[in-house]
Amino acid sequence: MPRKRSLLRRQLDDSSSDDDDFEILAVVVTVDTFANAKKKHGGSVPAHRVLYRDREGGHKRMFQDYLAVNPTYGPEIFRRRYRMSRELFLRIMKAVEGHDDYFVQKRNAANVLGLSCFQKITAAMRMLSYGVPADATDEYVRIGESTALESLRRFVDAVDELFGEEYLRYPNEADTTRLLAIGEQKGFPGMLGSIDCMHWAWKNCPYEKQGQYKGHVEKPTIILEAVASNDLWIWHAFFGMPGSHNDINVLHRSPLFDNLAEGRAPEVNFSVNGHDYTMGYYLADGIYPTWATLVKSITLPMGNKSQYFARAQEAARKMVERAFGVLQSRFAIVRGPARIWDIQTLSKIMRACVIMHNMIVEDEGFVVDPNERFDYGGENVEPAHGQPTRTLDEYIDAHRRIRDKETHLQLKEDLIEHLWNHHPDLY
């Protein structure tokens, strides 16, 4: 380093003034010093105050409050604060603890017992359920801000890895049969649910990305596209598109129809008004395209039949709006502005909330067989992506049939007649 300085000083003496020489030399020395400086090993910070949080005592109080044989707060209060029954919560907590060693209670080098799995998951659930910042859980859970954030990230990762394949599955044959029966009862044979998009405000969106994520609401948002059925089960969740996109842009990038185009979706055959159809459909609002797999309302209905169909379609497709409302009520973190800085963590949070939403629907509504767990995954549950089972020509032809406008118009006319003739008093 001294030799570099002397060489630089001789070069500067030949071509620069004295004042410029010293300024440039000072900058070079400063940059070189920081570049060669060794990073200190992490550890205790001198003069930093260490808080005694009494973690073990905090766990005992929490256990008595909620998990004891005779808890201070009963099942109703537990359900309100954790958004789910105690049995379901214990099932999730046990699975997460067995999946990730981070949640196993350990002792440190001083033989002091650390945070329990119940404390870490409670901190994560309070942030998800109430939408509070990380340091708001410290006084009761006895957990630091950085540890609470780490617990949140690991918890949503574990929920996605453990339960995502089962509770964010695409409908299998049994599911499709049940969804078609629900659609028939509502006067829409062949209906598999309703589709719409929800915007989640991103408070801490980086400045350089705000133009990309700002849309019609003048603040950064991230879009969730979802398909829900009448029992509020969310069958499809596609999250991460910037808020500057509309529903059509999101649909074109969504994997919603991938299984159908690749020939891996369960077959759907139904007849309406004397016409046969081989693809199910979703109810959608007016912005969506006129595809064979989407049924929209009529903007300006003329005549009693069209008016009745428009009223019936708009009433039936509210199921996805109800699902959004319940999701936001259960997990306030997706209702308020997101404070996380990175999109990857936000995506995991949204997926975990949707998964736990479906688990609560199953636990409280028995919408599926509670004994059916899809433990081995492959037989009943097909992934959203994979090796195509069709040739390229067959794949292109399937996409054409999915987006066929004539089929869309014919299906709408048949549904208008079907509702008027068979369900005149349903809506």
If you write DSSP's letter for every residue of 281-295 in order, what string do you get? EEE--TTS---TTEE
Mark whether 16 and 64 lie in a shared domain: no
Mark whether 292 and 395 lie in a shared domain: yes
Please name the helix (run of DSSP H) or strand (run of DSSP E) that holds residue 194, with its range, or none: strand 191-201
**Whole-number pLDDT of residue 216:** 82
- DSSP helix/strand/coil, 231: coil
- From first to last of its 427 residues, what are the pLDDT tens digits of the chain? 555 555 545 554 555 555 555 565 565 556 565 555 545 545 556 666 778 888 999 999 999 999 999 999 999 999 999 999 999 999 999 999 999 999 999 998 888 899 999 999 999 999 999 999 999 999 999 999 999 999 999 999 999 999 999 999 999 999 999 999 999 999 999 999 999 999 999 999 999 999 999 988 789 999 999 999 999 999 999 999 999 999 999 999 999 999 999 989 998 999 999 999 999 999 999 999 999 999 999 989 999 999 999 999 999 999 999 999 999 999 999 999 999 999 999 999 999 999 999 999 999 975 444 443 333 333 333 333 334 567 889 989 999 999 999 999 999 999 999 999 988 888 8
Identify the domain boundary among 166, 181, 203: 166
**Whole-number pLDDT of residue 338:** 94
Assigned domain for 295 exists: yes
Assigned domain for 308 exists: yes
Assigned domain for 26 exists: yes
Mark whether 183 and 245 lie in a shared domain: yes
Mark whether 256 and 206 lie in a shared domain: yes
Q: What are 59's strand-pairing partners? A: none
pLDDT in tens, 302-356: 999 999 999 999 999 999 999 999 999 999 999 999 999 999 999 999 999 999 9
Mark whether 326 and 410 lie in a shared domain: yes
pLDDT in tens, 352-396: 999 999 999 999 975 444 443 333 333 333 333 334 567 889 989
Mark whether 142 and 246 lie in a shared domain: no
Domain count, the chain: 3
Longest dimension (CA), the chain: 98
Q: How far is CA 387 from the centre of its chain?
A: 25
**Structural domain that includes position 13:** 2-32
Mark whether 252 and 131 lie in a shared domain: no
Whether 102 and 147 have beta carbons less than 8 Å apart is answered as no
Please name the helix (run of DSSP H) or strand (run of DSSP E) that holds residue 270, with its range, or none: strand 270-272
Mark whether 292 and 404 lie in a shared domain: yes
**Whole-number pLDDT of residue 129:** 96
Assigned domain for 41 exists: no
Using alpha carbons, select from 219, 220, 258 the residue that is nearest to residue 238: 258
**Whole-number pLDDT of residue 366:** 52
Q: For residue 44, give the DSSP letter.
A: P
Assigned domain for 69 exists: yes
Assigned domain for 113 exists: yes
Q: How far is CA 91 from the centre of its chain?
A: 21
The two three-digit tokens of residue 129, written as one number: 């359920």
Mark whether 192 and 311 lie in a shared domain: yes
Mark whether 6 and 147 lie in a shared domain: no
- C-alpha–C-alpha distance, residues 196 and 22, integer Å: 64
- C-alpha–C-alpha distance, residues 258 and 385, integer Å: 7
Which phi and psi (to 5°) does residue 370 adopt?
A: -65, -20
Mark whether 391 and 260 lie in a shared domain: yes
**Whole-number pLDDT of residue 372:** 38
For the four alpha carbons of 159, 163, 167 and 168, in that order, the dihedral sign comes to: positive
Assigned domain for 358 exists: yes
Mark whether 217 and 350 lie in a shared domain: yes
Whether 242 and 368 have beta carbons less than 8 Å apart is answered as no
Q: What are 202's strand-pairing partners? A: 338
